[in-house]
Chains A and B, each alone.
Chain A
Amino acid sequence: EVQLVESGGGLVQPGGSLRLSCTASGFTFNTYNMNWVRQAPGKGLECVSYIGTSSSTMYYADSVKGRFTISRDNAKNSLYLQMNSLRAEDTAVYYCARDRGYCRSTTCYGYYMDVWGKGTTVTVSS
């Protein structure tokens, strides 16, 4: 079964850090680009970050640029999101999602997302 399982969420104080993980199974992880998408309570979806298959391509939303770092370990079938300098507005459910885009040479192109995890909740509050 194709599956993504997020972990690492929790309650953190403003200014703090958290590292989210996403473990993939049921498919060849190193052949897919991956995304982090978040959803604030009662709100819509926001593309947070994207990484290509070999980590040569990475994108960030302006709202997290300079504070969040996406990475992956293909040997461990895992995707990560290091979140620093957290703010109240980062409070959300964070989903990892498989991307059906492709890579050409060292550049990867994000498309639509066909497999989603159940999400992990991050709450930033004092």
Chain B
Amino acid sequence: DIVMNQSPDSLVVSLGERATINCRTSQSVLYSPNSKNYLAWYQQKPGHPPKLLIYWASTRESGVPDRFSGSGSGTDFTLTINSLQAEDVAVYYCQQYYDTPCSFGQGTKLEIK
């Protein structure tokens, strides 16, 4: 099974600043035949289900603000949130869908300074 590790576990960032969350997979999730990274990012606010933000490591889901972006390839990935807003306070998870069963990182809690 693919093990996911996110860093940091928690993050405190000022309004308007940039937040960076990292995700490392225990094996590559890059599928060479189509050059796609099988990695997604989700946002979960307290008391709510997860919300899909990014898939294929860097494709933004429809309706997600463009201050959210994803990057990386192979085993190392990053979620970047530019111009942090108060409503971005949440726990963020990465998920691999290269292998079954799918697996999630442990989550990164983002708070406002």
Interface, chain A (partner B; CB < 8 A): 35, 37, 44-50, 59-62, 95, 97, 100-101, 110-114, 116-119
Contacts and interface: CB of A to CB of B under 8 A. Distances in A.
B104 A45 contact: yes
Contact of B97 (A61, A101, A116): A101
B50 A61 contact: no
A22 B104 CA distance: 22
B69 interface: no
Interface residues of B, number: 23
Nearest to A61: B101
B38 A111 contact: yes
Interface in B89-113: 93, 95, 97, 100-107
Contacts of B107: 44-45
B17 interface: no
Contact of A47 (B38, B51, B61, B104): B104
A112 B52 contact: yes
A110 B50 contact: no
Given A45-B93, A48-B101, A113-B40, 17 more contacts: A44-B105, A44-B106, A45-B95, A46-B104, A47-B102, A59-B101, A60-B101, A100-B55, A101-B97, A110-B100, A111-B38, A112-B95, A113-B52, A114-B52, A116-B50, A117-B49, A118-B48
A44 B61 contact: no
B101 A112 contact: no
Where chain B touches its partner, the secondary structure class is loop
14 contacts: A45-B95, A45-B104, A47-B103, A48-B101, A50-B100, A59-B100, A60-B101, A95-B50, A110-B102, A111-B40, A112-B40, A113-B95, A114-B61, A118-B48
Given A100-B55, A112-B97, A114-B61, A44 B104 contact: yes
A20 B39 CA distance: 28
A52 B96 CA distance: 18
A113 B93 CA distance: 12
Contacts, number: 61
Where chain A touches its partner, the secondary structure class is strand
Contacts of B1: 62
Contacts of B93: 44-45
Contacts of B49: 95, 97, 116-119
